[in-house]
Amino acid sequence: MFTLFRKEIFSFLNSLIGYLAMIVFLLINGLFLWVFPLGFNIVDYGYASLDNLFTLSPFVFLFLVPAITMRSFADEKKSGTIEMLLTKPLTDIQIIMAKYLAGVALVFFSLLPTLTYVVSVYLLGLPKGNLDMGGLWGSYIGLIFLASAFVAIGLFVSSVTDNQIIAFILALILSGFFYTGFDFVSELALFGKTDLFIMSLGIQSHYTSMSRGVIDTRDVLYFLSLIGIFILLTKVVLESRKWEKQGNRLQPGNQKTVGNKG
């Protein structure tokens, strides 16, 4: 499993799209937080706070994470290496978890350079160090959970198609729906008093809760459950591929019989 995990990391870092994805993530955040005179600019904000980073990053992750996960299974299926992968002495869960953890690790590597923003805001504060560190680390934890959920969604989508572009677009749409879709649905008068329950099905309410610096077990359980569901769905897709191949082999037209000569 570790060998496959390491292979996934190096495979991503050896491709141009891997570096482009991380550079774009850092570039967009850097420009919006420090350069562009928009509502996200930290200097114009006037307070020693990184709240705008954690408001902006989920939307950037909507594009970054699908770019990381789109080739996980789609590329294997297109190149035909999925069959060889499934015959290795690894269970389906081990294969999925190796790819999943590799995706999470790559997201984590993308976040590390943003710690320079923490140091900058810490030094810019009046007085120096006037920064809500509890809320800051809570926001980072929430952002990692959010990205981990996006990785699980992207991995599932990649397992159902052999086209990387389709995998990217579908993962973007599905992740976007889980992040903001339930909030929009909850605002419809159709659902009445169940609006809070519907909102709680989405990622945004739990991410916002964690960003306050309070790690609630309900939020952690939500993310773990969401991740678990999509990992299990990915396993079902891989198993269905095996069933399909076994069914094809058992068809009468695919069976060969050997008769006695004489």
- Identify which of 97, 221, 77, 79 has the alpha carbon closest to the alpha carbon of residue 155: 97
Predicted model pTM: 0.88
User: And the tokens for 165?
Assistant: 């572009």
pLDDT of 130 > 70? The answer is: yes
Q: How many domains does the chain have?
A: 1
Confidence of residue 257 (pLDDT cuts 50, 70, 90): very low
Say if 259 falls within a structural domain.
no
Say if 261 falls within a structural domain.
no
Give CA separation, 106 vs 101, 141, 208, in Å.
Answer: 9, 15, 23
Say if 217 falls within a structural domain.
yes
Predicted local confidence at residue 256, as pLDDT: 47
Residue 234 CA to residue 99 CA, distance in Å, equals 11
pLDDT digits (tens, 9 = 90+) for 70-88: 988 888 888 878 778 877 7
Range scoring the smallest mean pLDDT among 46-60, 178-192, 223-237, 239-253: 239-253
Say if 257 falls within a structural domain.
no
Confidence of residue 226 (pLDDT cuts 50, 70, 90): very high
pLDDT of 69 > 60? The answer is: yes
What's the rounded mean pLDDT across residues 148-167? Answer: 94
* Burial (0-12, 13-18, 19+ Cβ within 10 Å), 155: buried
Question: In the chain, pLDDT over 90 holds for what percent of residues?
Answer: 36
Say if 73 falls within a structural domain.
yes
Contact 61, 140 (CB under 8 A): no
CB atoms within 10 A of CB 240: 12
pLDDT of 13 > 80? The answer is: no
What domain range includes position 86? 2-244
Query: Which DSSP symbol is given to 68?
Result: H
